[in-house]
Structure 1
Amino acid sequence: MRDLVYPPVIAFARTSFKVLDLKLRLTGTENVPRTGGALIALNHISYVDFILGGYGALPSKRLVRFMAKEVLFRNRYSGPLMRGMHHIPVDRDAGAASYQKALEYLAAGEVVGVFPEATISRSFELKEFKSGTVRMAAEAGVPVIPMILWGTQRMFTKDHPRDFSRHRPISITVGEPITVTRDDDAAEATAQLRSTMAGMLDETVRSYPEQPAGAWWLPAAYGGSAPTPAEAERLDQEELARRASKRR
C-alpha cells in the first residue's frame, strides 16, 4: 500500500507535539507487532484520539488504518487526508462494507485501529463495548492490542471548548496482545477485552502526573467532576434525540 500522505502528516503531528511541548509518556509500545496484521482497540475520550493512538504504534514503525465516521471522509478538509492515509470509512447504516474492508486490510498485514465503544465517553470511563472488535480479530486471525489514551480529553472533547495549551501530559499505554479465535464466545471475549482495558485505564489514570480534585476532565470515581457513567448515558440519549429531531 503506497503512503504518500501519511508520512508528511506524521511529520506535521510530531512538529505540533514539539510546539505544544506535550509530555508524552508511552508504555508497552513493544506490544505492537512489527510485522503482520493486528487490531488495535482504543478507548475513546477525545476527537484527537486517532492522532495520538497512531503515535503509539510508531515505535514499532507501523501505520494504523483507523475505522472512522464516514462524514469525515466527505469533509472538504479532512476527507483528502483520511482517504490519503487509507483509513476506513464507517457508515453506521451500512456497516458490512467497512467491516469487510477492515478484514481485507488485516489479511494484507495492515494494522487497523478501532474504538470498541463506537463513540466518545463523556464520563471518560469505558462505555459498553461492541462485539465487532473481537469478531473481526477472530475472523482475520490477528491479535487484539489494547491501548489506553489519557489526557487527550483535555485537548478536544464533547461539551468542552478546544484547549491546546502547552506542556500538557499525555499517557499512552499499550497492553499485551490478546488472542481471540472463532471458537470463542464473542460476548465473553468482548467482556474480557473490556475488563482488561478497564484495568489498564485505572492504572493509567492513577499514574497520571496531575490529579486536581474536581477537574472536569477527571472521572467522578477519581474525585473529578466529569459526568458519572449514568449521567453520561443520559446526555448521549439526549444528543441522539436532538439529532433525530433535526433529521425529521
Structure 2
Amino acid sequence: MPNQAAEKTVGFRALAAVLVPFLSSIAKIEFTDPQKLPTTGAFVLSPNHYSNIDPVIMGWSIWKLGRAPRFLAKASLFRVPVVGAVLRGTGQIPVERAGSVRGSEPLKAANELVEKGNAVIIYPEGTLTRDPQIWPMRGKTGAVRMALEQNLPIIPAAHWGTQAVMARYSNKISLFPRKTIKVAFGDPVDLSEFRGKPINSALLTAATELVMADITALLEVLRGETAPVERWNPAAHNQKETGRFE
C-alpha cells in the first residue's frame, strides 16, 4: 500500500508554505461533496478550464483535502533553472507537447503514479474553453487515455469563481475584495463499457464525451444555469469562420 503521507514531499510543503497564505488572502473555497475526492490511491482528476490560474486553484483545492496535485507539464520547463527544480521536487509529469499523454516519459510517469498511489490533474479541454459563455467545450482524449491505459478512476470536477481572480486570457490577478470560488467533485465517471476493449479514436472520443458531460453537469449546479445543448467545438467553429480546418 503506497504511503499517502509521502505525496506531500518537501518540495510540495515548501511551495505550499509560500502559496497557501497568499491564496487564502485573496480567495476562499467552498466545496460541494468534498468526500467524493478519493483519500487514497491513484486517480485522474478532470476539471473544467477557463482561467490561467485554474491549475493553481485546483491544486490548492485538493491540497486542502489532503492530496498532492500532479500535472502534465511541458518537458522543456524541466530544463529551466529553478522552475525545473520545483517541477521535479513536486513530482510533476513531463510531456513533449502540452496536453499529450503519449510517449515514453508520460508512460513512465503514469506507471510511477499508479505505484505510488498519487493523483494527476488533466484538463480534458487541453486549453482554456473557447465557449463564449465559459461552458466546457469539446474535450480532448488525453485524460481518458491515461485512465483507461492505467486502469484508473477518472473523477470529474468543476469550479466557478476563478474568473473573478483572473479573467479568461488575462494574467492579471485581482487581489481585492476577497473572492469566493466554488469547487465540486463528482462520482467516478462510468467507463465500464470501454474498459478491456482495444483503445482507438472512436472509443476515446465516446469516453471523453461522458467525462465532459459529467463536468458540465457539476458546473450547471454551481452556476445555477443550464448549459447549451450543443457543446462548443473549436474546430467546427474555425471551419465556419474561415472555411477550412486547422
TM-score by length of 2: 0.76
**Number of aligned positions between the proteins:** 219
Q: Which amino acid aligns with 1:9?
A: L
| 2:128 paired residue number | 120
Match of 2:85 among 53, 67, 80: 80
Q: Report matched runs for 1:97-108 at 5 Å.
A: 97-108=104-115
**Partner residue of 1:169?**
180
Distance 1:82 1:188 in 2: 33
C-alpha RMSD over aligned residues: 3.2
Question: Is contact 2:37-2:155 (8 Å) kept?
Answer: yes
CA distance in 2, matches of 1:135, 1:187: 10
Of residues 18, 36, 40 in structure 1, which corresponds to 2:24?
Answer: 18
Structure 2 alignment gaps of length 5 or more: 1-5
Output one character per residue of 1:117-144: Cα deviation in whole Å (capped at 9) or x when no partner.
Answer: 1111243221211122122112212110
Shift of 1:75: 4.0
| 1:67 partner SS | strand
The answer to whether the Cα contact below 8 Å between 1:102 and 1:112 also exists between their aligned partners in 2 is no
Q: What SS class does the counterpart of residue 112 from structure 1 fall into? A: strand
Aligned to 1:96: 103
CA–CA distance in structure 1, aligned partners of residues 78 and 24 of structure 2: 28
| % identical aligned pairs | 26
SS in 2 for 1:57: helix
In 2 relative to 1, CA 28–35 (structure 1 residues): closer, same or farther, beyond 3 Å? same
Question: Equivalent residue of 2:158, what SS?
Answer: strand
8 Å contact kept, 2:52–2:169:
no
Aligned partners of 1:134 and 1:189 also within 8 Å: yes
Amino acid at match of 1:126: P
Q: How far apart, CA to CA, are the structure 2 residues paired with 1:130 and 1:230? A: 11
Alignment of 1:70-219 (within 5 A): 70-92=75-97, 95-108=102-115, 109-123=117-131, 124-166=134-176, 167-180=178-191, 181-183=195-197, 185-206=203-224
CA drift of 1:149 comes to: 2.1
Give the partner amino acid of 2:139: F
**1:103, CA displacement in angstroms?**
2.1
Q: 2:55 aligns with which of 50, 54, 58?
A: 50
Over 3 Å counting, the alpha-carbon distance change for 1:187 and 1:137 in structure 2 is same
Asked if structure 2 preserves the Cα contact closer than 8 Å seen for 1:65 and 1:87, the reply is yes
Q: CA deviation at 1:81?
A: 1.8
Instruction: Identify which range, 122-131 or 83-92, moves more after superposition.
Output: 122-131
Which residue of 2 is the match for residue 246 of structure 1?
none
The CA distance in 2 between the partners of 1:30 and 1:189, in whole Å, is: 24
Cα distance in 2 between the residues matched to 1:110 and 1:12: 22
Residue number among 45, 57, 74 corresponding to 1:69 in the alignment: 74
